[in-house]
Structure 1
């Protein structure tokens, strides 16, 4: 393999690593063993985050994606003060006003830095081919065989752990819980859409919608 081709290949490998890390995925989930055949028709989406703007984006995007899939949803920031801590009273009031039968909470619980190392490698380049009738010292521009070393490549990225819980609005019981991971926590809109997709798939799989 020629050195220039090997370097290009290395760039493709690194790009592939970054792309594979970009997805938001469900890493763990739970529901009570005695989960009743309860269907939820409207969910109140509540994002637990310090920034009111980030909260608005999370709730708006997730609620919109749920609606598009046929699940009624409402953003909690429209019914509760944006800059005040959520209390049980304000939450109960918001649930009543929204007419929701389930409360969906989303919270980033941890952000950690991870490292992905692509091992280095050694490769040989045999040089240009030339006809045997011509000795190499008469060939202008001929280069002999070479050996080159590509050092290991280290890719560092952030991974956020996101906890998603579905509570029954009437009893307050936890109905479903999921732990998600994303490597691009700063892309709020993209992550919100991914979270909504995972939630929709999980709730349908468990027969909750």
Structure 2
């Protein structure tokens, strides 16, 4: 086995040993090799506005550090946007408005389900459901904003981030989604920070939003 490959495995191992979040599954549109966006809307769906603010600020900040033009939904949505459910027509109008404002991608994150580590009781929510568009995803999960008891009494959070293209000259479609488990949700700031680290790492690895030079493909493994 090549030394470079062994080093890569060690780096990945050290990365996940120091984080409370872990990428457990990810899917990428097979028709897309790389994807760059001119402007990305960062959306966090959670009933806790304070945590939503922290998450969107952290993720948008990390994306900007990597050269990605990103905007938090809290800075774009009207103040009362999430206080009432939106119809599919309203979400379609939102997409059109986003395109007019120069957005061509949406990065949507939410907690899908939870698991009690002791009883192994699972309460998955749309965990195995793939949404083809941002509109469908938001429409099916927007009630999370209003469920104040959504996260209580659970120890493992099963979260998911999805990257959607809303390019005006292309089909609006799902580009990538990644399932991330959060094992220390009681430490909110650390959990959010770790989640964002894993998400950024995954996007880089898939050459999405953050494009980096790939390793020499001529290495022998």
Q: Normalising by structure 1, what TM-score? A: 0.62
Give 1:137's aligned residue: none
Deviation at 1:73, TM superposition (A): 1.0
Runs of 4+ in 1 over 4 A off after TM superposition: none
Residue 44 of structure 1 is aligned with which of 30, 41, 44? 41
Q: Give me the whole-angstrom Cα distance separating, in 1, the residues matched to 2:26 and 2:61.
A: 23
Partner of 1:84: 84
Shift in Å, 1:59: 1.2
Compute the displacement of 1:164 (Å): 0.7
Given the alignment, which residue of 97, 102, 112 partners 1:99? 102
User: Secondary structure of 2:193's partner?
Assistant: helix
Task: Specify whether residues 98 and 188 from structure 1 end up closer, same or farther in structure 2 by C-alpha distance, changes over 3 A only.
Answer: farther
Structure 2 counterpart of 1:55 = 52
Is 1:181 aligned to 2:181, yes or no?
yes
* Cα distance between partner residues in 2 of 1:192 and 1:59: 10
Higher-Rg structure is 1
Cα–Cα, structure 1 residues 54 and 175, in superposed 2: closer, same or farther, change >3 Å?
same
Superposition pairs of residues 12-23 of structure 1, within 5 angstroms: 23=20
Q: Give matches, 1:128-207, under 5 Å.
A: 158-170=155-167, 171-207=171-207
Query: Which runs of 5 or more structure 2 residues have no equivalent in the other structure?
Result: 1-16, 120-153, 210-221
* Maintained 8 Å contact 2:45/2:52: yes
Check whether the contact 2:112–2:159 (CA below 8 A) recurs between aligned residues. yes
Q: Residues 181 and 42 from structure 1, CA distance in 2 versus in 1: closer, same or farther, beyond 3 angstroms?
A: same
CA distance in 1 between partners of 2:61 and 2:104 (Å): 17
Farther off after superposition, 194-203 or 72-81: 194-203
What RMSD, in angstroms, separates the aligned Cα atoms of the two structures?
2.7
Please tell me whether the aligned partners of residues 57 and 188 of structure 1 are also in contact (alpha carbons under 8 angstroms).
no
Q: Structure 1: 5+ residue runs without aligned partners? A: 1-19, 117-156
SS at match of 1:179: strand
